[in-house]
Amino acid sequence: MGKQVTEMLKGVLEGIVLAILSGRPAHGYEITAWLRDQGFSDIAEGTIYALLIRIEQRGLVDVEKVPSEKGPPRKVYSLNAQGRAYLEEFWRTWSFLTERLEQLHERGN
């Protein structure tokens, strides 16, 4: 994809990851793979790990270290209460944006 996606992802990627975690706990490698699967073909691995550390430091997720059979131990992240609240706020903000843009798009303004 292009530079447009990269810029649009700013602020949105965080919501995406939180949304994923709201369904089930997951670790970084898993999330990256899932995103690639969903068509986010060139989200850098480093980006996800950095993002996870960020939301951890903000207290939106809890972390647990879990041994893996296939490699180094995994850091499994799960959404906590604060994260859930933040995610709700994210969806409200997102709805606001999509509504404005839909109006702009439809009336070819």
Partner DNA sequence: CCCATCTATTTAGTGTTGCTAGGTACCAGT
Partner DNA sequence: ACTGGTACCTAGCAACACTAAATAGATGGG
Interface residues with DNA (CB under 7 A)?
3, 5-7, 9-14, 27-30, 42-47, 49-54, 68-76
Cβ closer to DNA: 10 or 107? Answer: 10
Structure tokens at 97: 């944006």
- Least spacing, CB of residue 60 vs DNA, in Å: 11
Helix 45-57 vs helix 12-21: crossing angle, to nearest 10: 80
Cβ closer to DNA: 54 or 92? Answer: 54
d(CA 42, CA 30): 15
Complete DSSP assignment for 66-106? E--SSSSPEEEEEE-HHHHHHHHHHHHHHHHHHHHHHHHHH
Contact status: 100 vs its own copies (CB under 8 A)? yes
- Least spacing, CB of residue 33 vs its own copies, in Å: 15
Contact status: 49 vs its own copies (CB under 8 A)? no
By residue count, the chain amounts to 109
Cβ closer to its own copies: 11 or 73? Answer: 11
The interface region with its own copies, picked from 44-52, 56-64, 73-81, 93-101 by CB under 8 A, is: 93-101
Q: b/e for 56-68, b at 16 or more Cβ within 10 A?
A: eeeebbbeeeeee
- Least spacing, CB of residue 50 vs its own copies, in Å: 14
